[in-house]
Amino acid sequence: MDQKLQLHITNMDCADCALKLEKAVARLDNVDFCRVNFTTAKMEVGGPVDQAAVVKQIQALGYGIAAPDAADVPRSRSQQWLDLLRQPRNTFTLIGAMFILLAFGAQWLPGSELISFILFLVGGLFGLYFPAKTGWAAFRSGQGLDMNVLMTLAAIGAFAIGEYSEAATVIVLFSLGEALEGYTMERTRNSIRSLTRLAPPEATVLRPCLDCEDCRGRELPDGSGIYQSGPCPWCGEHEQVVPVESLAVGDRIIVKPGERIPMDGRILNGHAAVNQAPITGESIPVEKHPNDEVFAGTINGDGLLEIEVTRLAADNTLSHLIYLVEAAQSQKTPTQRFVNEFARIYTPVVVIGAVLVATLPPLLFGQPFFDPPALANGAGEGHGWLYRALTLLVIACPCALVIATPVAVVSAISAAARRGVLIKGGAFLEALGRVKVVAFDKTGTLTQGKPELVNLACLDNCCTEARLRDPSVACNHCDDMLAQAAAVERYSTHPLAQTITLAAEARALPQLQARQVKNLPGQGVQGRVNGQLVTVGSHALLHTDQAHAAEFCQRIAEAEANGHTTMLIRQNDALAGYLAVSDPPRHTSQSAIAALKQLGITHTVMLTGDNPTVARAIGQQLDLDEVRAGLMPEDKVTVVRQLVNEYGDNVAMVGDGVNDTPALAAARVGIAMGAGGTAQALETADVVLMANDLSQLPAAIQLGRRATRTISFNIWFALIIKAIFLVTALLGIATLWMAVFADMGASLLVTLNGMRLLRSGNHRGIKHR
């Protein structure tokens, strides 16, 4: 059996920390692998490893372990500040900062050089203790020159050349910047933990009164004896508040008006408008009735609901959503992988450059190794080459560059999750931002997916659409035709088959038995009913087999032109009539497609197995650019691949995530809509729209574009800052404290800039009437 150890890491404030922890723990005996998810601060270790050894290695590097029961508990902002202040490193940093402020104040006093020196030294030692300790542990474990080592060398070097104030200031500013960076990252992590608060920890369950003390000793109602124990036959059921973890599938719970629904389940009694925004992002409450499904974390409206639990607390939709979001955040984007590789090269190159800067100009050109006397007296230009090299060591820290991508990714994915959009990783987030072409499946995606029988007529034209509105209009031929069609469709898996069987049940028609039923792929279904060979098929199939009246054919063409799907019924060799089924577009489809075009989507395509006339009618109604009709599932894959070849890697496919899996996989981004928490949709698609409509699709693409722009800005900003200070350091213009301000300032700015994406979750999808 595979052994895995999961730990929640504290005090981890940059992506470089995660890489360092992975390498250090992976070196331990019996460790098969070690993965650290920086964005969620979680470590997973595989192999028969000693947990004590892992914890010891983590603590030696300056990090902590959170208790399992507190790891995923969301924290308020004040609690986060208190957690920050309780960390020993931050306490030492604040003490060091106070000594440095006193040292700067003492400089104004006469004869205060010794006092200032002592205060700077004490403040520097407080600030230096944890960076030096962590850097030494990292160096001993084979991690090389991390940022703690670089900053420690820079501070010690500055002390050695008499730059006491700058040495103390640099190390304290570095530690202070790390603390603030950790706080901002913790706020980002807290956005995911806050999802756990959506579902209440307790539920009101209906339980029978057991071992009732009040009724014990009474004669049982059936006279079979005396009641002693077990379910009380007089008290019935009682409401009992229990932890959701204790509930089992099949338990019945009560949810009162205004309460959050604690478990996934099915409504047994009651009806209410349920606010599903926390899960699906839908801005309008959805009316729920008996047998409808409800999700944990959604909010009951104004009705009392009795719900049967259908999933355990650990397996419900919300838990699955949180798990997948955390897993998505650990997936590195192509940009992030490139930046990490660049940082691995950048840091040692700059360190080697710093050594060369310190030694070559003095040795080869007679340049000053220390600051020239004129500069020390407040005159002259440029620092000595050792000082410049120390400044380069500060600039060699890759913090801002490494954190530029993950903070934007975790913020965007968290914001999308709060809107009911699950993005399965940073790579798909970036791909979503580049989408220019969107292909849609028709049934259940652009349309409601709940087709209804809107017309039926037999060949002798004895019935009209009015019969559907008024059942008293009788036509025995039509009833017989519909009953026979329902008999063979009952064995079909086609989406329209259930529509026919439900229509027959609604008219209370006799349930006939069909034998020797066989599917005609892409064409229809056939079987024997009461000795007759009944075929239900497409207009094209049956029209080619038997010529029929031109007027009847015209009626079918008119129905198809109105967007209705027609099915013809043949009894033996004679055409009996037709059924017309309508699956109207969703009320959000047209506005969603219009919003996509406003975002710059250049091409929209509908893919359907329906006939071209019906498909064109729907396409025109929704203002789609192209319609591909009469497609088998494998044809949809071919069309998507053609779009990828024509438009490049910017093609998205939107389907229901169940029968469109091959086409979703063929696109650069596969988007499943209306998942409602189904496991297949959540697992197979790259992006999942939890709501049963397209209203969040434009917002998801816009979020992807914002995230891509933010990542690009962060990376270029960090690179430009590094380049400016590399040049100014070589010219002797930049000082140590300026360099650390720039490095820590850049890290904080790119972190805060990435966190702006969190606010995207506060807006809802497109508005519709």
What does DSSP say about strands 305-309 and 265-269: parallel, antiparallel, or unpaired? Answer: antiparallel
Q: Both tokens of residue 13?
A: 């404030």
Evaluate whether 689 touches 706 at the Cβ level (below 8 Å): no
Compute the distance between CA of residue 614 and CA of residue 161 in angstroms, rounded to an integer: 83
Compute the distance between CA of residue 305 and CA of residue 354 in angstroms, rounded to an integer: 70
Q: What angle do CA 422, 180, 104 make, to 5 degrees?
A: 170
108 CB-contact burial (10 Å; exposed 0-12 / middle 13-18 / buried 19+): exposed
Compute the distance between CA of residue 581 and CA of residue 586 in angstroms, rounded to an integer: 16
Going by C-alpha positions, the residue among 458, 424, 473, 504 that lies closest to residue 675 is 424
Compute the distance between CA of residue 677 and CA of residue 700 in angstroms, rounded to an integer: 18
Going by C-alpha positions, the residue among 272, 268, 264, 300 that lies closest to residue 288 is 272
441 is catalytic: yes
- The DSSP string of 592-639 is HHHHHHHTT--EEEEE-SS-HHHHHHHHHHHT-SEEE-S--HHHHHHH
Which among 13, 371, 441, 686 is annotated as catalytic?
441
Cα–Cα distance list, 90 to 11, 21, 639 (Å) = 10, 20, 58
Residues whose CB falls within 8 Å of the CB of residue 245, separated by 6 or more in sequence, listed in order = 313, 314
Evaluate whether 729 touches 392 at the Cβ level (below 8 Å): yes
Evaluate whether 708 touches 433 at the Cβ level (below 8 Å): yes
Compute the distance between CA of residue 268 and CA of residue 420 in angstroms, rounded to an integer: 26
First to last CA, the chain: 55
Dihedral over Cα of 606, 609, 610, 612: its sign = positive
Compute the distance between CA of residue 568 and CA of residue 648 in angstroms, rounded to an integer: 41
SS3 of residue 333 by DSSP: coil
- Give strand pairing partners of 606: 440, 627
Q: Both tokens of residue 757?
A: 């994406």
Going by C-alpha positions, the residue among 19, 45, 43 that lies closest to residue 33 is 45
DSSP state of 743: H
Compute the distance between CA of residue 421 and CA of residue 757 in angstroms, rounded to an integer: 14
- The DSSP string of 683-721 is HH-SEEE-SSSSTTHHHHHHHHHHHHHHHHHHHHHHHHH
DSSP state of 223: S
Evaluate whether 333 touches 347 at the Cβ level (below 8 Å): no
Evaluate whether 769 touches 752 at the Cβ level (below 8 Å): no
Evaluate whether 538 touches 523 at the Cβ level (below 8 Å): yes
Residues whose CB falls within 8 Å of the CB of residue 205, separated by 6 or more in sequence, listed in order = 239, 240, 241, 242, 247, 251, 252, 253, 254
* CB atoms inside a 10 Å sphere around CB 357: 20
- Give strand pairing partners of 575: 570
525 CB-contact burial (10 Å; exposed 0-12 / middle 13-18 / buried 19+): buried
Q: Both tokens of residue 581?
A: 């089924």
* CB atoms inside a 10 Å sphere around CB 192: 21
- Active-site residues, by number, are 441
